[in-house]
Structure 1
């Protein structure tokens, strides 16, 4: 059972801006392509990102200007937005560094990074530092669009048949809207627990109802009698 990689889920056609792209051209790129951010390239390599949030200070501060400069006790974030408001090019307003991921990164690892950093996307760079794609939250959610029958077949054939060496015909596997229900009997309780874990970690599974039973429980041990000398 191989986990999907970033390369299998990413969007390969990436809309980009150049460091010298004008403020208005960047706004037009976002609007025309219905996207919320673009990577900024310098010589073909990503050096920053311009998002909608990086462009809004132009309206917030009406273009900046010394008369509107934040006061001495204004926070760092406010001062940064004021500086962005005076920007004329993508390089002036972009956020650095670029948050990137490699094409062979596991989908679950990419999802953890997006969650931990509070990001909407990761830009995908190859070993030479070239931009080869973009991975968004939406790209990762596509995993949950797998057909129920596809999931059922993989659970029966790969998890039970190949990994647990169990006859799939002896296990009842039902999948409804990504929710897996398991019924049947295995030899050991440890197998029941492993089966539930493997099914739960299968990409596209929404939840697992593990109704498997075991002939004997090999996960508990009798209390050993202490002998005092």
Structure 2
């Protein structure tokens, strides 16, 4: 079963700024569009990002009039001090751009967001052109799938097409994304595969499995592993 990709979840219309955009224009751009960050383009290609955090140092250090960080100040504090004197996007932006590709799987993109510690990834094609933006909120939309849709996918795709099981020989109920399964399958391995596939299905919140096997085809394998 194919996992959703970034292309199917991303926002395609992206508000952008130019490297020469003024500080005040950047503030107005964020405020007017109710966004917290904007990619900065140079010649049509992303070279950085300006977020609210990149603009706040102007107030934090009163435009550079407050006392400069001391000799032993951290790199981050010194960076914010430098941003306080910025007047264009080029001066205050953070580089490089945290990006991903349109064909990246949703789960991989979620891991990239977590690893980078950012709220969004800008989506660039193979030529480096900006084609969209993927936010945490875009990923969370996966959990808005209707219960009935999930139930149909589990029965028809997972049991019917992938496990070759009569879809109506098992009981499947979905409530607020929580899946409850009951019934009997032929082998224990099928039970474990079914549970794994359903739990990995985009939009599933949790799985309660009451599936039973007619016989345990994994017992000998596990015993051999222990003895070996």
**Class of the TM-score when normalised by the shorter of the 2 chains:** over 0.9
> 2:191 is matched with which residue?
192
Asked whether 1:147 is paired with 2:146, we answer yes
Q: 1:172: how far off? A: 0.4
1:45-194 matches, within 5 Å, as 45-65=45-65, 68-194=67-193
Shift of 1:128: 1.1
Once the two structures are superposed, residues 153-207 of structure 1 have per-residue CA deviations (whole angstroms, 9 ceiling, x without a partner) of 0000000000000001101000000000000000111100000000000000000
Aligned to 1:33: 33
Aligned twin of 1:15: 15
- Structure 1 unpaired stretches of 5+: 225-229
SS in 1 for 2:103: coil
2:4 aligned partner: 4
Question: SS at the partner of 2:40?
Answer: strand
How large is the RMSD of aligned CA atoms in angstroms?
1.1
Measure the CA separation in 1 of the matches of 2:58 and 2:35. Answer: 19
How many residue pairs get matched?
223
Distance between the aligned counterparts of 2:87 and 2:108, measured in 1? Answer: 36
Deviation at 1:68, TM superposition (A): 2.1
Large movers: runs of 4+ above 2 Å: none
Structure 1 residue 151, shift from structure 2 partner:
0.4
1:58-86 CA-to-partner distances (Å, cap 9, x unmatched) read 00000014x62111111111111000000
SS of residue in 2 equivalent to 1:221 = helix
Unmatched runs of 5 consecutive residues or more in structure 2: none
Establish whether residue 215 from structure 1 lines up as the match of residue 214 from structure 2.
Answer: yes
How far, CA to CA, are the matches of 2:158 and 2:53 in structure 1? 45
Greater fraction of residues in helix? 2
* Residue in 2 that maps onto 1:227: none
Scaled by the length of structure 2, the TM-score of the pair is 0.96
- What's the secondary structure of 1:157's corresponding residue? helix
Distance 2:135 2:160 in 1: 34
Deviation of 1:40 (Å)? 0.2
Counterparts of 2:48 and 2:116 in 1: how far apart (Å)? 16
Provide the rounded CA distance (Å) in 2 between the counterparts of 1:127 and 1:23. 31
